[in-house]
Amino acid sequence: MLKRDAWKKRRLSWDEKHMMNSLVAAARSSCVYFHTGAVDVKNKRIIAEGYNGAPEGIENCLEKGCRKEEHGIDFETKGTGNCRGIHAEVNTLGEIAKKDAHNSTLYSVYYPCSVCAKIIANSGVTEVVYMKIYREPDSLTKEIFEERGIIIRKLELDIDRCLDVIKEAYKE
Burial class of residue 108 (count of CB atoms within 10 Å of its CB; 0-12, 13-18, 19+): buried
The total number of residues shown for the chain amounts to: 172
Distance CA 42, CA 68 (A): 36
Active site members: 89
Distances (CA, A) of 129 to 34, 74, 85, 138, 141: 19, 29, 22, 15, 13
